[in-house]
Amino acid sequence: MTAILAAIACLALQDPSQGPDSPEARRLREEIASRERGLEALRAGQREAVGRGDAQAARDLNREVSRAERELEGLRRRLREIETPPPPLERLSLELKGLATHWDNDLELEDGLGWSAAAYLRDFLFVQVRRWDPEDELGDDDASVTAYTAGFSYEFGLAEERKASFVFVAGAGIVRFASDAPGSDDDNGPILTASPRWMYAVTPRIRVNVGGDLDLARTDFNQRHTHTVHTFSLFASIEIGF
């Protein structure tokens, strides 16, 4: 997991659209220089109109100067944002999640609670571990399920002025089923997961999520042969950004 997080951080550093030497920054500097020359010409025309006593022309030029100044300030603000982007790790967040899970009947596991820890490169990638300790109803003993997944996340319609968003997370990985029951066979298998959720930003760095996890896995745990099982969980989580 550490290696994956390091790779994610490296990807965040490789954004060619940010930084003082990016093509967008160079384009904005050229446009700002051109707009500054145009603004000086407007101011000179305004002074000339005042000097010759042409009040109407002076008022018209004053409006043009004000409009040009606003547009120029907007370009300068955009250039500052590109030249000094936020540190890449501000997009990194850690999530702790509580799960209430219903298992596929073929798994012979008791429904119950679990937990999850995940790291997100917001609106891009995630890695996650989930853990449950249900009762093995077939073997009448303790069992454990651990799932390791990685994939992508996407936020729909989240803007600076909004605090809520719909988020979709999907990934794949490995799940391990184990039981302490005598004669039980542990098993590892592939797992696919989809997780629609609703997110609310309490602050720019603290978010809460509620939603569901739908998992599809291939296993022969507590069965005579390998086949696909499905699991559904409801969850609530807290996410902290850095």
> 27-52, pLDDT tens digit by residue?
888 999 998 998 898 888 888 888 88
Residue 161, domain member (yes or no): yes
The residue range of the domain holding 158 is 89-241
Domain shared by 211 and 106, yes or no = yes
For 6-26, the pLDDT digits (tens) are 444 444 444 555 667 788 888
Confidence of residue 58 (pLDDT cuts 50, 70, 90): confident
Q: Is 60 exceeded by the pLDDT of residue 166?
A: yes
Domain shared by 147 and 227, yes or no = yes
CATH of the domain at 55: 1.20.58
User: What pLDDT score does 101 carry?
Assistant: 97
Residue 187, domain member (yes or no): yes
Six-digit token string for 130: 């989930």
User: What pLDDT score does 2 carry?
Assistant: 42
CATH of the domain at 165: 2.40.160.20
Residue 201, domain member (yes or no): yes
Domain shared by 104 and 200, yes or no = yes
Domain shared by 185 and 234, yes or no = yes
Compare 86 and 169 and report the one with higher pLDDT.
169
Residue 17, domain member (yes or no): no
Contacts by residues 100-106 (CB-CB < 8 Å, ≥ 24 positions apart): 100/233, 100/234, 100/235, 101/132, 101/134, 101/231, 101/232, 101/233, 102/231, 102/232, 102/233, 103/134, 103/229, 103/231, 104/229, 104/230, 104/231, 106/222, 106/223, 106/227, 106/229
Domain shared by 49 and 124, yes or no = no
For 75-133, the pLDDT digits (tens) are 988 888 887 755 554 578 999 999 999 999 999 999 999 999 999 987 789 999 999 99
- Count of the separate structural domains present in the chain: 2
Domain shared by 71 and 148, yes or no = no
Domain shared by 209 and 236, yes or no = yes
Give the closest residue to 101 by CA, choosing from 88, 112, 86, 87. Answer: 112
Q: What is the pTM of this model?
A: 0.64
Residue 46, domain member (yes or no): yes
